[in-house]
Structure 1
Amino acid sequence: MRVLFLIQGEGRGHLTQALSLAQILQMAGHDVIGAIVGITAQRTVPTFFSEQFSAPISPVFSPGLVYNAGTNALEPFKTTVQAIQSMRPFWRSLKQVRDHIDTQRPDVVVNFYEMLGGMTYALLRPSVPMICIAHQYMAFHPDFQRPKGQWFYRQAFKFNTLLTCFGAQELLALSFDKQANEPQKRLRVVPPLLRREVTELKPKTAGTDASKEFLLAYVTQPGLKVELEKAHQQRPDVRMDAFHSDASGPDQLIDDTLTYHAIDGKRFLEFMARCKAIVTTAGFESVCEALYLGKPALMIPQPNHYEQACNAIDSQRAGVGIASDRFDLNQLLDYIPRYDPQVSERFRAWHAQGYFLFLAALNRAVTPTSKPSSGGFLSTRVRHLLRS
Structure 2
Amino acid sequence: MKIFYAIQATGNGHISRATQLYPYLKKFGEVDFFLSGNNASLATDLPVKFKSKGCSLYYSKCGGLHYPNIVKNIRPRQIYKDADNLPLQKYDVVINDFDSVTALACKMQKVHSVQFGHQASFISAKTPRPDKRSLMGELIFKHYAPAPQNLGLHFENYDSFIRPPIIKDIIVNSTPKNLGHITVYLPSFDKDCLEKAFKSVPDVHFHWFLDTVEQEHVIGNIRYFPVGQKQFNKSLINCDGIITGGGFETPAEAMYLGKKILSIPIKNHYEQECNAEALKKLGVPVVYEAGDDFGQIIENWLDMDITYPTMQANNIPETLEYLFDTYKK
Whether TM-score is above 0.5 comes out as yes
Count of aligned positions: 325
Partner of 1:378: none
Partner of 1:160: 140
Deviations 1:198-249 (A, max 9, x none): 2222211x4xxxxx511110132343x3342132233122111111112241
Identify which of 111, 114, 117 aligns with 1:134: 117
Paired residue secondary structure (1:324): coil
Deviations 1:126-148 (A, max 9, x none): 2xx31111222333322222223
Aligned equivalents of 2:114 and 2:175: distance in 1?
A: 33
Distance 1:141-1:66 versus aligned 2 partners, 3 A rule = same
Identify which of 259, 274, 277 aligns with 1:310: 274
Residue 322 of structure 1 and its aligned partner are, at CA, apart by 1.1
Identify which of 92, 95, 117 aligns with 2:102: 117
Aligned equivalents of 1:75 and 1:124: distance in 2?
A: 33
Distance 1:144-1:352 versus aligned 2 partners, 3 A rule = closer
Are the aligned partners of 1:281 and 1:301 in contact in 2 as well (CA < 8 Å)? yes
Partner of 2:88: 101
Task: Verify: 1:326 aligned to 2:296, yes or no.
Answer: no
Aligned equivalents of 2:16 and 2:96: distance in 1?
A: 13
Paired residue secondary structure (1:338): coil
Deviations 1:296-326 (A, max 9, x none): 110101221111111122112123x211113
Residue 163 of structure 1 and its aligned partner are, at CA, apart by 3.1
Q: Partner amino acid for 2:79?
A: F
Distance 1:278-1:353 versus aligned 2 partners, 3 A rule = same
Distance 1:56-1:260 versus aligned 2 partners, 3 A rule = closer
Are the aligned partners of 1:33 and 1:56 in contact in 2 as well (CA < 8 Å)? no
Partner of 1:38: 36
Q: Counterparts in 2 of 1:1-388, with a 5 A limit? A: 1-26=1-26, 29-40=27-38, 43=39, 48-49=43-44, 51=45, 53=46, 55-68=47-60, 70-83=61-74, 86-97=75-86, 100-102=87-89, 105-126=90-111, 129-149=112-132, 151=133, 154-166=134-146, 168-181=147-160, 188-204=161-177, 206=178, 212-223=179-190, 225-250=191-216, 252-255=217-220, 257-319=221-283, 321-327=284-290, 328-335=294-301, 337-340=304-307, 343=309, 346-348=310-312, 351-366=313-328, 370=329
Aligned equivalents of 2:321 and 2:295: distance in 1?
A: 41
Are the aligned partners of 2:242 and 2:260 in contact in 1 as well (CA < 8 Å)? yes
Residue 352 of structure 1 and its aligned partner are, at CA, apart by 4.2
Deviations 1:182-201 (A, max 9, x none): xxxxxx11111222232222
Greater radius of gyration (CA): 1
Q: Partner amino acid for 1:94?
A: A
Residue 77 of structure 1 and its aligned partner are, at CA, apart by 4.2
The unaligned stretches of length 5 or more in structure 2 are: none
Deviations 1:145-165 (A, max 9, x none): 22232x4xx222222233343
The unaligned stretches of length 5 or more in structure 1 are: 182-187, 207-211, 371-388
Deviations 1:38-68 (A, max 9, x none): 134xx5x75622x2x2x35321231212222
Residue identity (%)? 21
Residue 333 of structure 1 and its aligned partner are, at CA, apart by 4.6
Residue 272 of structure 1 and its aligned partner are, at CA, apart by 0.6
Distance 1:311-1:32 versus aligned 2 partners, 3 A rule = farther
Residue 357 of structure 1 and its aligned partner are, at CA, apart by 2.7
Q: Partner amino acid for 1:291?
A: M
Q: Partner amino acid for 2:288?
A: D
Q: Partner amino acid for 1:30?
A: F
Aligned equivalents of 1:335 and 1:46: distance in 2?
A: 29
TM-score (norm 2): 0.90
Larger helix percent: 1
Partner of 1:383: none
Residue 270 of structure 1 and its aligned partner are, at CA, apart by 0.3
Are the aligned partners of 1:113 and 1:161 in contact in 2 as well (CA < 8 Å)? no
Are the aligned partners of 1:4 and 1:33 in contact in 2 as well (CA < 8 Å)? yes
Q: Partner amino acid for 1:18?
A: A
